[in-house]
Each structure stands twice: as C-alpha cells, then as structure tokens.
A and B are shown apart, each in its own frame.
Chain A
C-alpha cells in the first residue's frame, strides 16, 4: 500500500490558494467518486440480475402438448401465480419453521463463542493466542463439501469415534441424524465453520480500541473481566451488530449443511430448508420461475428480520447516546 511516514499535506502550501469553496466542492463530490466502482459493480452484478430474477418470477413456462421439440414450450406471463404457489406451499412454511428453530441454536451459540474467543485473544494473560487464532479460524477455510464429508463421518453411529468414546464411558450413543439431535448436528457444523470467521471480525475491532482507553481502565482499577464487559464489548458493538446481521441472513439462507448431510439419513428431505427448495426448483427441477418467486419471498422475509434487527440495534444505540 502507500508509503507510511510521508507527512500528510506535504504539498499543501501550493494548493492553499485554491480557495475554500473549491475544496468544499471536491469534499462534497468525493464520496460519490469513491463509491463509483461500488455503484457500477452493484448495478451490473446485483441490481441487474435481481431485476432479471424478479422478471423471471412473474413469468412461467407454458408447455404445448407433449412439450417435445422446438415448439414444445414457451415462456408466458404468469402474474403472481408463482408467488401464490410459494406462499401457500405448506412444505416451504414447514421449512421456514425448521430454519427458525435451527437459527435459534446457531446464531446465539456461534456469536457467543466468537465474542468469547475474540476477547480471549485480546487478553494478554492468555497463552497460545496465535495458535488459537489460527486453529479456530481454520474450519472457515475448509470447503463445504469436505466439511460435510468429515462431519457426516463423525456423526454416523456405526463409524463415529464419538460413539466409541461414549460407549467406553458407558453412555448410550444417540442417533445424531434423527429427530431432535439432528438440529444440533446441523447447528454444530454451522457453528464449527462460522465461529472463527466472526471471531476474526470482532477481534479486528478489538485491536482498534485505542491504548489510552485500556490505560484508563487499568488506572481505574478495572479487572480484566470488568474491562471486557464495560469497555471492550460496548466498543465493538458495531462489529457485533454486523456479525448478527449477517448471521441472521446466513441462517435464513442455510443450504450447505443440510444438503450435504442429506444423503446420509432418511430424516432430511430435499426441501428441508427454504433455500434447498429454491435450489431444487432451479437446479434439479428446472423451474427457474418458481425458484425465483420463492427466492423473492425468502429475500423479503430476510429483509424484515435482518433490517428489523438492525433498526432495533440502531434505536438502542441512539437512546444510549442521548442518555449520555
């Protein structure tokens, strides 16, 4: 990146005569300039495809007769038929409820662990921080297919070392791929894979807390625990909000874990989560129109939940600020 140590504003005297108004104009326009690449990429690779998906969602395929050959099918206007179907689909609703139950486990546990480990990493009294940082982050680097292969292996009763371990201490080994434990088994994969990622986000924020804050806390006689609770956590609140926001979205769009565990058990259907339903419609069923409508419904529900949370967090934030 750019050379550190160069004094900011070294060329300043030459420009100073440019006048305050020119500077104000450039300061006013600058943010738009900085955001130009973002805007261009967003328009091309988000807005346009999303618009296209919306278009697809109000269209449908109309088959003529047998539907074979060049004149077998045409794309026609469908109005809201695809949406009606998505909203009245009991399997989609059941999937949404399953995912909410799953999210209720994943989000708090994963973020709790992430915050906890991030605080430990930021505590000088803890040994092995470098090692901990790497190993806890490591699962994030393991691709989904492999993660599923390995957890699937660790879950199957007849081959799992876990079963051996439990039986050795005389405990019955539960069938992790059936009934209620299934939720835990799925959540575990997400928690295993996601904790390190969120930990790093929070840790990066912790590293940005200025030294004098710590110094002040120490002089005030705060114990490390008090420092963590009263100073560090409030100061990394924006990062916590960020991780929460994206975790909610990731949870509602859960796909990898159930998809990859599905072949191992009779208890996971191909439409276990709403996004699996979208994938099935789009990539195995070949009905992109139904898939697009379902995806829009998921996006709207996610919008309400995630932005609702963001609004809530912001409101609390503002109240605290006003109180100060």
Chain B
C-alpha cells in the first residue's frame, strides 16, 4: 500500500460487526461503579457548565441587574427580556431563528450527503489520484476563511446571488473536515469484504453505497451533521458579507446588529444575552435528538441481516 494517509491501519482491519449495546445493556455481567473516573467526568462537566449557567442566569436579569447584582444570583426579568426580544422590530428575532434553522438544517443535511459520498469513495476505493484529491481537499482549509469571504462575495455577485439565501448556503456545503471524518468513519465501519461480496453478487456501486454502506456510516454521519449544523448556526462572517436584508439574517448576525447600533445607542446586552440563550436551546435539543444515533445497537440489525 503506497497511500500517504494515516488510515491504512483501519482500512486493513475493518470490523465485521458493530459493538452491541453497552449503554443500558450489560445484563450478563454485573456492572461495577468506578467512583474516581465518574468524579473526573463530573468535574469536567462542571467546568463546561458553569459559564453556560452564567448565561442562563444572566438572561433572567433585568437591564439594571445585569452588571450590578451578584454573578450567580438570578434576576427578575426573564419574562420581560423574552417579551422585549419578541417585541423588537415586530418579532424579527423569530424570523432570524427560522433563517438559522433553515441555513443550518439544510446546509448540514446537504453537507453531510456530500461528505458521506466523498468520504466513502476515499475510504473504500483504490483509484489513481485518491491521496492527491484528499490532500488538496485538506489544503482547502489552510486558507483562512476570513480572506475567502470577500472573493466569494465578488464571485457570487457575478451571478447575481448576493443578498440571497443561496449565497449563505452554497459556500458551506463543502466541509473538508466532514469529508475527513466521513472517510475515517467509513474506513472503520464499513468492512471492505462486505462491499466486495455485494459487488460479487452483482449489486451496482450506488446500490452498495445506499443500502449497505450508508446505514453503517450513520453514527459517523450524525456526528458530521451535528458539527456542520453548529458550525453554520454560529457562522458569522460569511452571512455578514453576503446579506444586507435583515429579513434574511441568521441569529448571529441579528444579535450582532443588536450589539452595534451606533455610538449613540447603548448595546442591548440583556436582549443579546437572552437571545443567545434562546439560540443555544435548539442546539441542545438537536444534540439530545442526535445522540441516540451514537448507540450502534440501533443499527446492528441492519448490519447483521
């Protein structure tokens, strides 16, 4: 093998089977409890949670409490903040949220599909130019996105697509990170011999991908989807450059306009913090929804049959 990738160990030893349930399972053998590792995990969780808790608490504070009352003391203004947010420019906040959901949802879905196809091809086929293609893709992330936004704007202006939703959507569909992840995951989860056997049976390549590889790659793709969703949800610079109509703004950009209304207008911190908290909620919901796909037992049936 003359590949220049770190993946060949996995290529060679692809597992034939996914691990059965470990979470919630383990009936055969009594599960022991490890106090020290549990404590370590909880400590890490605490470290990550505390600042988020501050946002949640800050969102309950009225404007005059934000910087004046004790950090972790809840305030009295949550309802007021939410209704202020709702009242701002005829509830445009909700439109921003719908926009964000559209950009992130659709963008992540399509990006995930592109990554799945690309990652699968790179992991399971040997073909001339494979590593070159892969390396060129990776090299694409080396150029700082900051500097690409302006050229992307000028190019999209050529086809009259600036200030359109497509302008925000199209550039985020390709994620070298997603392809890399999909490749690693396809290499680990899709056994080469299963693909070969299906081919011997006369299945077409597309069919093999769709009915055999895709279900096996699902947990990895869910991860790709999640990452892309969050990345697009929090994307700022691209929509900032591309959009001028605030009806099309995503949340990040909308909140940014709330923070910068000129020197004569103080930043609407309470609105921004409440808005940010509400913006994190859909991401948490998505995470909770998505994480069940990481339990592979859900799919083991498909793999075995």
Contact = CB atoms under 8 A, between A and B. Distances in A.
Contacts of B173: 41, 45
Given A8-B212, A124-B26, A211-B18, A53 B44 contact: no
Interface in A1-54: 1-2, 4-9, 11-16, 18, 23, 26-28, 30-35, 37-39, 41-42, 44-50, 52-53
Contact of A207 (B41, B67, B219): B219
Contacts of B23: 124, 129-130
A126 B34 contact: yes
Contacts, number: 354
Given A120-B37, A141-B230, A5 B142 contact: no
Interface string B116-135: 01101110010100100101
Contact of B279 (A2, A143, A278): A143
Contact of B214 (A1, A9, A30, A145): A1
B89 to A, nearest CB: 20
B170 A45 contact: yes
A288 B139 CA distance: 22
B38 A278 contact: no
A130 B41 CA distance: 11
Interface stretch (A61-69, A71-79, A175-183, A197-205): A197-205
Interface of B: 4-10, 12, 15-20, 22-23, 26, 31-34, 37-38, 40-42, 44-49, 51-52, 54-55, 58, 67, 71-72, 113-114, 117-118, 120-122, 125, 127, 130, 133, 135-144, 146-148, 150-152, 154-155, 170-171, 173-174, 177, 179-181, 184-185, 187-189, 194, 197-199, 201-212, 214-215, 218-220, 223, 226-227, 230, 233-234, 236, 252, 255-256, 259, 272-273, 276, 279-280, 283-284, 287-288, 291, 294-296, 299, 301-302, 305
18 contacts: A4-B302, A33-B205, A41-B173, A42-B137, A45-B152, A53-B143, A53-B147, A130-B291, A142-B52, A145-B259, A192-B47, A192-B51, A204-B219, A204-B223, A212-B15, A238-B188, A318-B8, A320-B9
